[in-house]
Amino acid sequence: MSYDAHFRVWRGDADKGDLVDFTVEVNDGEVVLDVIHRLQATQAGDLAVRWNCKAGKCGSCSAEINGRPRLMCMTRMSTFAQDETVTVTPLRSFPVIKDLVTDVTFNYVKAREIPAFAPPAGLQPGEYRMAQVDVERSQEFRKCIECFLCQNVCHVVRDHDQNKEAFSGPRFLMRVAELDMHPLDALDRKNQAQEEFGLGYCNITKCCTEVCPEHIKITDNALIPMKERVVDRKYDPLVWLGSKITRRS
């Protein structure tokens, strides 16, 4: 069972570009990425698109489909009516390189700002002991496939490019939470989260959670608990007093 679909795909580069109309065959069970590949093979050999696994595991084929940030490999054509126009555009929060490919350097820069896992002193490889229940919290966040859809959709940077400097975005605030919740990580990361990575900018609209293809509860399980930890630290009078006495701040 196949039919001809109407696609509009953004084509262009950093300087200029426009939506281009295509009529393209669609077969049973296909996803948007299959259709983009068919366009490449038959109508637009130089159409730029990133993809790797085509199974929702690598997070490469992120784009906006009818305005919604999604993985092209996990968006089935059966979710559209046959006479519906499918519009595919590049992620809006990052500079375009060409067609559907954007410059996601921002994310790699932010990744490098977060202090790495600090191994506990005195434990050799093979001596780590952790309970399943304790690793599960961070494990949820490590399901992240770095598709950067949450980074793209978060209004803190989507509508305010100037915030990129001070705000690491949901993916990397979640990384801070992941490390803070790691049972054996030796660093305290609460102040960093607030002061260096811009946790305070997040006003928990949950857009990140909504677009996450891995269904990670970014806001509820990472960002809100992290905000609570920061607040506990900052406003608890006993903690405040303790920090003054021991000069830890």
Partner 1 sequence: MTEIEKYNYDVVVIGAGGAGLRAAIAAREAGMRTAIISKSLFGKAHTVMAEGGIAASMGNVNPNDNWQVHFRDTMRGGKFLNNWRMAELHAKESAQRVWELETYGALFDRTKDGKISQRNFGGHEYPRLAHVGDRTGLELIRTLQQKIVSLQQEDDGDGKLRVFAECTITELLRDASGRISGAFGYYRENGEFVLFRAPAIVLATGGIGKSFKVTSNSWEYTGDGEALALRAGSTVLNMEFVQFHPTGMVWPPSVKGILVTESVRGDGGVLRNSEGKRFMFNYVPDVFRKNYAETEDEADRWYTDPDHNRRPPELLPRDEVARAINSEIKAGRGSPHGGVILDIATRLPAAEILKRLPSMYHQFKELADVDITKEPMEIGPTCHYMMGGVEVDPDTAAAARVPGLFAAGEVAGGMHGSNRLGGNSLSDLLVFGYRAGLGAADYVRQLDGGYPAVRPDQVEAAAATALAPLSLNGGENPYAVHQELQQLMNDLVGLIRTAYEMNEALKRLDELKVRVGKVSVEGDRHFNPGWHLALDLRNMLLVSECVARAALLREESRGGHTRDDFPAMRPEWRKKNLVCSLSDGTAVDVVEQPLPPMRPDLMAMFDRDELAKYLTEAELPAEEPA
Q: Which of 50, 56, 18 is nearest to 37 (CA)?
A: 50
Q: Which of residues 6-25 bind partner 1 (CB under 8 A)?
A: 13
Instruction: State the greatest distance between any 2 C-alpha atoms of the chain, in Å, as a whole number.
Output: 74
d(CA 88, CA 63): 7
210 touches partner 1 by CB under 8 A: no
Task: Say how many residues touch partner 1, by CB under 8 A.
Answer: 60
Q: Buried (b) or exposed (e) across 149-177, using 16+ Cβ within 10 A?
A: bbbbbbebbbeeeebbeebbbbbbbbbbb
CB 67 within 8 A of CB 78: no
Cβ-based nearer residue to partner 1, 128 or 240:
128
CB 56 within 8 A of CB 64: no
108 touches partner 1 by CB under 8 A: yes
Cβ-based nearer residue to partner 1, 95 or 200:
95
Cβ-based nearer residue to partner 1, 45 or 237:
45
Per CB under 8 A, the segment of 123-131, 149-157, 164-172, 225-233 that binds partner 1 is 123-131
Q: Which of residues 151-190 bind partner 1 (CB under 8 A)?
A: 179, 182, 185
Among 129, 235, 237, 238, indicate the residue that binds partner 1 (CB under 8 A).
129
CB 27 within 8 A of CB 1: yes
Instruction: Return all residues near 122 (Cβ < 8 A) that are at least 6 apart.
Output: none
69 touches partner 1 by CB under 8 A: no
The distance of closest approach from Cβ of residue 101 to partner 1 in the complex, given in angstroms and rounded to an integer, is: 6
As given in the structure block, the two tokens for residue 66 are 């009818």
Q: Which positions lie near partner 1, rule CB under 8 A?
A: 13, 27-31, 34, 40-42, 44-60, 74, 76, 97-99, 101, 104, 108, 111-112, 115-117, 119, 125-126, 128-132, 135, 138-139, 142-146, 179, 182, 185, 215
